[in-house]
Structure 1
Amino acid sequence: MSNTGLTLQLGKKPDAFCDAHHLLIVTDNNPVFLQEIEQVLQQMTVELNCHSVTCDRYSQALSEYQYDLILYNYCSNNNSNSYYPESTHDYSVSHPIPELAWWYDSSPRIPLVLITEPLGDEMAIACIQSGINAYVLRHKLSSLPDILETRLVSCIQQQSQTFKKLSQQINLLKQEIIKLKNQNSELKTADNSTNQEYFAHLNHDLRSPLANILQFARMLKDEIYGKLNPKQTEYIAGILTSGNHLYELINDYLDIAKIEANHEELYPDKVPVEDVCDASLVMVQGKAKEKELELIIDIADDIDFCYADSLRLKQILINLLSNAVKFTEQGSVTLQVKATSKMLLFSIIDTGIGISKEDSAKLFQPFQQINTPLHRQHKGTGLGLALSRKLAQLHGGDITLTSEVGKGSCFTVSIPAL
């Protein structure tokens, strides 16, 4: 054996051992008796892989290999008097041999068998109490094989118990994971049921009665059941304006809530792009005509179909076109469609008031509205743009904005191309 880390494979494996065991022999800086130890180890009946290092290379050896047992060749003849004066017997129980500091400080601490000269009873007890697993007197080195085999069997038993405990803990954790998965599934089922009840409640208890109120208000406004005086006409108009605003708010809120609760489903299909654009422009044509705005449609020649939920895509485009018409006092609103290699881009371009960078950052947040005279004049729900973006993201796309105050805005809806 040498300090270079010689590996020895010794003896045949008995039934009690299924693999070779790894033994690290540590010596002082002035190694002696190694040849004698090697000869004794030849008598081992178990297969050993042995490496030999000096104390100063102990940490390096542990970082390079995993050992089952350490055999420390303590050459106490050279230094025992200096550490343990017989007159005082002054030594630390936690460190009975100062040269073993390298072992005490290691983590994890590997079982250690000490080879040493005869020890006094007090010193022997201190060695065992300090954690040393066994010691062999040098003049009885022939007993080393039996001691090593005993310690190795003990190590195997401890490892077996450790593995058994770990296996039990793993099984318990698996059972806990299964239990948590079941609980999570039950919670999701309960949550879905609660959400369904919540949406049904909003629809039945809020939207339906409000729709009836609006219908009665329209009948009064149209004077189906008799003439109204000017004050009554004014009040009915106010009811309709406020009611329609509330109805839009409920619709937008329900849509956003369904998306966030993963209840909103898309029904994508192959849709003619021109038909979707025409249908969307028709919905804002009346308002644009009132304000003498030019509506422009510009579809690239290479675009014919897209794969999307036709109803939801129109909802997005109508929302953006309505905003463009609402906040444009003169000029035009353009619906432009072009394609990239991966995405189809629907751009709504207006010549309106534009949006500052500060306001752009909060524009797609629910219930956020821009504080300008024109925006205060055309009060919306504060949910339209947030809903439109979520619907675009459900398609696998997004909505982006480029704008300059006083020069107009461009909202671009991107969805995956066919």
Structure 2
Amino acid sequence: MKNSKNFGLPNGEPSFKVAENGVFYKTNKVGSSLYYSAETKIGEKELAKAKFTEAMDISLKSIVDTNENIVAAYFNTSDNMNRLYPFIDDVAQQYGRHINMADYNFYYLADLKHNPKKEPVWTGAYLDPAGNGWMLSCIVPIYNGDILEGVTGIDITIDSFVKNILNRKLPYNANLFMVDKDGMIIAMSEYIENLLGLKELKEHLYTDAILKTIEKPEEFNILKNSTPFASHFKKLMQEEAHTDSFIIQGNEYLALEQKVDETDWELLILIDKNEIFDSIVHLKELSNKIGYFAIAFLLLFYIIFFYFLLRRINIFSDVITQPIVKLSEETTKIKETDSKINTINTDILEIYQLNTNFSNMMSELNKKTQNLNEAKLLAEESSRAKDDFLANMSHELKTPLNSVNLISSIMLKNKKGNLDEKDIKSLGIINNSGKGLLNLVEDVLDVSKLELGDIKLNNSNFDLCKLLEKTYNSFELQTKNKNLKLAFECSKEIGLIHSDEEKVKQVLKNLLSNAFKFTENGEIKLTARLNKEFVEFEVKDTGVGIPEDKIEDVFDRFKQVDSSITRKFGGTGLGLSITKEITTLLGGDIKVESKVNIGSTFTARIKSNKEEIIQKEVGENSNSLNSNKKKIILFNNNPIKFISLSVLLQKSFDLITTSDFNELLEISKKTDFDYILFDSSKIDEEKLSKLEVSKEKTVLIKEEEIANIEKIKEIISLLES
């Protein structure tokens, strides 16, 4: 402003005057109006600024005249000067005696505190002091170094914003409204006004000067508005989702949110879903009508078509089916041994040929069936004779063999000392051969019984670890003779089991004998452990091992890995086969893992049947009484399923059972009990609340847990604690 040569005066020399209220203003009504606050002292500097800012009129005028949305352009200074286009006739009265620019958002939003980046800034909606009603401004700070000299900006009225931008015809009759970052509605269409129950602020009747920024009331803030409609958009603005759908006054709407990065505003779009789907619904209705007509036409056509088709089929099928029905009746006689098929008269060559083939086939079947029956009877007779022979032979052989073994064992002791080394060696051969023959006879007897299904289990309660220890000790001599190490380990948690003791002993002996037979040096280990309802025996050796392709054959009768093993180690190949069948009888199985020249591990499982032991103990002790027993109430609707638990509880507690809830209420009030046990499927929170019993005295039991003996033990332990 110091050098007037830098500025032109596009409107000629301006004239100024001081109004009665002390305002310095421009009098010639050309270009933009000028206003200086009465509290600003007008000196040469201020006069020069008022004069030479006339050069801005060209820019201010072109901005307003070329854009229908812009209603005013202006320049405000830090010393409270205002230059605004278009010209305000009575600017001194419009603004009043004094206007402090720093009190208005169209000035202070551009200062360093609010706009540290010194970028263009958009204001929110405010009431224009210049008399243009409610509007928005885009303002730009003008700095002289670090000093804010002034702010230039443009004004857009809310009315023009709504008319020219928000009221545009959009697809699906979409309605728009704009909010600032704080949720204040900048502008909205009439449709949105009706939904929110608000009237958009556009015009204003000015009676006094606007001395500070006047913004829209709080009900225009979408985040503070209490209407249901506003709450939906509040959710949309506060969450990351940019779309939402909701129902207002019975209509379903689709809402979209889009951020306007340049202004930091948010454009909200509301679309009635009926508008979107109207054309689709119309097309659907039309297609439905066409479809119904087509279906009706096709239905009528096919009714007529199938009527005539079925008539032809029935006539034709009778020609075919009648002889087939007769043939079917004849073929039902096939189950009769000496049945014959009669010839059927028919003109259909294929059916006639089929009938002839059936007749010939029946003749052949009758002959072959008769031959098979005769062969079956002969085979059964031979099998019985073989079994009788084996049983008799085995019985006859066992007596002399036992005598041979006993006498040779006594002679081997050489108590009189009259036998030399050669004699003792010969007696040893006799004794070993006798034992081998006796084992063979017993194996043959077992195989015979297994084939006949003649083996019956003699189950009893016994201490498995003691049985294992006895079996382990019986191999002590073999251990010394072969210079092997025999290890034994039995889990104490096994305790008593309910099974056939002799059969379990036979399984153990067969597995240990097999291990000793094929182990020349190293170690044999016998282990027993409890695995759920099973007991597992594991015999691990460091013997010759089994090739992988031969493992499946080890449990087959009369099979060994190869013929050289039979020659070297002896045996018939029956031991493991018998062991497998016995473990199956005992409710278990057997498996083997082996590596050549490393060793084999045989694992046999049998059922422990511990529940049988518990039932027996309960039966023996059910009559015992204990005056110090805890009182337990058992409530369930199915006494049959809970009988096992009832029997066990009676052993340790003073038990009261009931299946009626009302009776339970009565008992609980009159009885000093310790616990109530419930069937969890028959009790709910409502019933529990009626009982008025503390949680510490209630125990819920699932129906599936009653069959689990370990779970029953846990429940009893809990009650006893």
Q: Report the TM-score, using the length of structure 2 for normalisation.
A: 0.33
Structure 2 counterpart of 1:215:
403
Structure 1 counterpart of 2:439:
248
Give the CA deviation at 1:320: 0.8
SS at match of 1:402: strand
What amino acid does structure 1 have at the position aligned with 2:303? T
After superposition, the C-alpha distances for 1:191-231 in whole angstroms (9 at most, x for unaligned) are 7776454333223234423531551465367459x966776
Distance in 2 between residues matched to 1:261 and 1:267, nearest whole Å: 18
Distance in 2 between residues matched to 1:231 and 1:301, nearest whole Å: 48
Structure 1 counterpart of 2:530:
339
Distance in 2 between residues matched to 1:289 and 1:221, nearest whole Å: 17
* Residue 360 of structure 1 pairs with residue 572 of structure 2: no
Structure 2 counterpart of 1:81:
none
Give the CA deviation at 1:401: 1.2
Structure 1 counterpart of 2:569:
378
Give the CA deviation at 1:239: 3.6
Unaligned runs of 5+ in 2: 1-295, 339-365, 610-721
Distance in 1 between residues matched to 2:566 and 2:401, nearest whole Å: 27
SS at match of 2:403: helix
Unaligned runs of 5+ in 1: 9-24, 26-48, 53-66, 71-109, 113-151
CA contact (8 A) 1:210 1:243 kept: no
Give the CA deviation at 1:376: 4.9
What amino acid does structure 2 have at the position aligned with 1:349? K
**Matched positions, count:** 282
CA 1:184–1:282 in 2, change beyond 3 Å: closer, same or farther?
farther
Distance in 1 between residues matched to 2:507 and 2:321, nearest whole Å: 65
CA contact (8 A) 1:401 1:410 kept: yes
Give the CA deviation at 1:244: 2.7
Give the CA deviation at 1:411: 0.6
CA contact (8 A) 1:214 1:240 kept: no
Match of 2:328 among 154, 163, 166: 166
Structure 2 counterpart of 1:102:
none
Match of 2:307 among 25, 50, 53: 50
Structure 2 counterpart of 1:92:
none
CA contact (8 A) 1:221 1:233 kept: no
After superposition, the C-alpha distances for 1:314-343 in whole angstroms (9 at most, x for unaligned) are 111111112223433444322222233454
SS at match of 2:303: coil
Q: How does 1:291-370 map to 2 (within 5 A)?
A: 291-341=482-532, 343-370=534-561
CA 1:159–1:329 in 2, change beyond 3 Å: closer, same or farther?
closer
Distance in 1 between residues matched to 2:550 and 2:328, nearest whole Å: 57
SS at match of 1:364: coil
Root-mean-square deviation over aligned CA pairs: 4.5
Structure with max Cα Rg? 2
Give the CA deviation at 1:389: 1.5
* Structure with larger RCO (C-alpha < 8 A, sep 6+): 1
SS at match of 1:50: helix
What amino acid does structure 2 have at the position aligned with 1:69? R
CA 1:202–1:335 in 2, change beyond 3 Å: closer, same or farther?
same
Match of 1:7 among 303, 314, 323: 303
What amino acid does structure 1 have at the position aligned with 2:444? Y
SS at match of 2:438: helix
Distance in 2 between residues matched to 1:346 and 1:292, nearest whole Å: 24
CA 1:407–1:375 in 2, change beyond 3 Å: closer, same or farther?
farther
Q: How does 1:93-242 map to 2 (within 5 A)?
A: 111-112=315-316, 155=318, 163=325, 166-167=328-329, 169-170=331-332, 172-173=333-334, 175=336, 195-209=383-397, 211-213=399-401, 215-216=403-404, 218-219=406-407, 222=410, 235-242=426-433
Greater alpha carbon shift after TM alignment, 318-327 vs 184-193: 184-193
Structure 2 counterpart of 1:412:
603
Greater alpha carbon shift after TM alignment, 234-243 vs 196-205: 234-243
What amino acid does structure 2 have at the position aligned with 1:204? N
Match of 1:388 among 579, 592, 597: 579
After superposition, the C-alpha distances for 1:129-160 in whole angstroms (9 at most, x for unaligned) are xxxxxxxxxxxxxxxxxxxxxxx9xx49x867
What amino acid does structure 2 have at the position aligned with 1:318? K
Distance in 1 between residues matched to 2:562 and 2:494, nearest whole Å: 38
After superposition, the C-alpha distances for 1:62-104 in whole angstroms (9 at most, x for unaligned) are xxxxx4634xxxxxxxxxxxxxxxxxxxxxxxxxxxxxxxxxx
SS at match of 2:512: helix
CA contact (8 A) 2:408 2:430 kept: no
SS at match of 1:328: coil
Distance in 2 between residues matched to 1:194 and 1:396, nearest whole Å: 32
After superposition, the C-alpha distances for 1:171-204 in whole angstroms (9 at most, x for unaligned) are x245559x9x9x9999999977764543332232
Distance in 2 between residues matched to 1:265 and 1:190, nearest whole Å: 28
Match of 1:285 among 476, 480, 490: 476
CA contact (8 A) 2:499 2:608 kept: no
Structure 2 counterpart of 1:73:
none
CA contact (8 A) 2:538 2:601 kept: yes
CA contact (8 A) 1:364 1:386 kept: yes
SS at match of 1:69: helix
